[in-house]
Amino acid sequence: MAKLMLSALLFIGISSQALAVPSKISVSTSSYGQVYAPGDLIFQEEFNSFNKSLWHYEINMAGGGNNEFQIYNTLPENAWVSNGRMHIKPSWSVDSLFGGNWETLYNGHLKLEGCTDPPGSACERKAQYPNILQPVVSARLRTKGSFSFTYGRIEARAKLPSGDWMWPAIWMLSEKAVYGGWPRSGEIDIMESRGNRQLFNPSGQHIGSEKAGSTLHFGPGWPHNGYWAAHGERNTAPGQGYDRDFHIYELEWTPSYMRFRIDGQQIKSVDPPAGGFFELGRFPGDVPNPWVNASNFRMAPFDQDFHIIINVASGGSYFPKDSSPSPPWGSTNTPFLDFMKARDDFRATWEGDNAAMQVDYIRVYAV
């Protein structure tokens, strides 16, 4: 009887703890369905292993809407965990995917098994020289379907890749896209950068690996996008790029504002006015507002669950044509071929561990 009573008391104690409600309730919610107090750790990924039940590969060759050069696939040489860090590193498709067969690159037919996009050119493509297949293969990992949250402070510690024409990113997309297709349901870019150690805009500013930026994309429909009102950036000291060491990229996301920081230094605060992001973006009055019935009108579309994405892209429109040096694909109609013709000029920058984005951890705290 004593043992039974002790067991009952222990059960009651454990149950009480499990059902305990914080004295102060956080506004943060997550797909885990828990109730949080401000400051609680909602999500913690230390990359002690490659948790493929959490991180799901995207498989496509859609170009990300930016005319990018990569095929996203599941090759182990493009995404792996070692020493407690997730590594993502692009490689050459002719070697990694086509077994060194240049004829496949030039004139082959590629159909991606397990493609995560709707059927079409994102999943299947026939090359015909000089319109060759994508020259790069890389990895894009996401927590869609396994973890998403609304409001919180997300922090990622990462060392960015050093590799010409690489495009690393840590970002988020809407889990259910309740307001419609991009950019109606929003995009949160916690960190974007470029891998070139030498890349300058016409005014002489370094826009390669010494610069990182954060941006919100939002709008009532293409081509309306209010990103210009929600973009911040920061340059390191010369010669101390974000590819040289680990840095902390942070977003504080609340029901009334969003603040981006790098190493604790705020680079952008987005405080939407009473008219919300529609007013912030100064969209035309004759365009319907997709967020008019939102649960948090001021913050919509950023009032819904978002999932996390980490990837390294290559090429595309993120690289300005007027940079110095200019992108080797120029303004021709054969950018993939031009890129391959120029690769001997920069392929050495794609070699070694420094050419991988290394993510040490990602943590989300309640606010």
Instruction: Give me the domains of the chain, ranges plus CATH numbers.
Output: 39-365 (2.60.120.200)
Confidence at residue 103, expressed as pLDDT on a 0 to 100 scale: 98
Residue 107: how many other CB atoms lie within 10 Å: 14
Question: In terms of Cα–Cα distance, which of 366, 364, 356 is closest to 45?
Answer: 364
Q: Are 147 and 44 in contact (CB under 8 A)?
A: no
Classify each residue of 18-47 as buried b or exposed e, where b means 16 or more C-beta atoms within 10 Å of its C-beta. Answer: eeeeeeeebbbbbbeeeebeeebebbebeb
What three-state secondary structure class fits 169? strand
What three-state secondary structure class fits 348? helix
Type of residue at 20 = A
Question: In terms of Cα–Cα distance, which of 156, 299, 157, 286 is closest to 218?
Answer: 299
Q: With pLDDT > 90 as the criterion, what percentage of the chain qualifies?
A: 92
Confidence at residue 193, expressed as pLDDT on a 0 to 100 scale: 98
Q: Are 160 and 174 in contact (CB under 8 A)?
A: no
DSSP per-residue string spanning 254-294: -SS-EEEEETTEEEEEE---TTHHHHHTT--TTS--TTTT-
Bridge-based pairing state of the strands 247-253 and 152-159: antiparallel
The whole-angstrom separation of Cα 295 and Cα 339 is 46
Confidence at residue 5, expressed as pLDDT on a 0 to 100 scale: 39
Residue 117 has pLDDT above 90, yes or no: yes
Residue 6 has pLDDT above 70, yes or no: no
Q: What angle do CA 73, 77, 79 make, to 5 degrees?
A: 65
Confidence at residue 23, expressed as pLDDT on a 0 to 100 scale: 81
Type of residue at 343 = R
Query: Is the pTM for the entire model greater than 0.75?
Result: yes
Query: pLDDT by residue (tens digit) across 127-153?
Result: 999 999 999 999 999 999 999 999 999
Long-range contacts of 315-318 (CB under 8 A, 24+ apart): 315/67, 315/68, 315/69, 315/70, 315/136, 315/165, 315/167, 315/339, 316/63, 316/64, 316/66, 316/67, 316/68, 316/69, 316/167, 317/66, 317/67, 318/66, 318/68, 318/167, 318/192, 318/194
Residue 63 has pLDDT above 50, yes or no: yes
Confidence at residue 17, expressed as pLDDT on a 0 to 100 scale: 42
Question: In terms of Cα–Cα distance, which of 22, 33, 19 is closest to 11?
Answer: 19
Confidence at residue 20, expressed as pLDDT on a 0 to 100 scale: 59
The whole-angstrom separation of Cα 129 and Cα 107 is 6
Tell me what the pLDDT averaged over the chain comes to.
Answer: 94
Can you name the residues that pair with 266 across neighbouring β-strands? 261
Query: pLDDT by residue (tens digit) across 250-263?
Result: 999 999 999 999 99
Question: In terms of Cα–Cα distance, which of 275, 345, 294, 343 is closest to 314?
Answer: 343
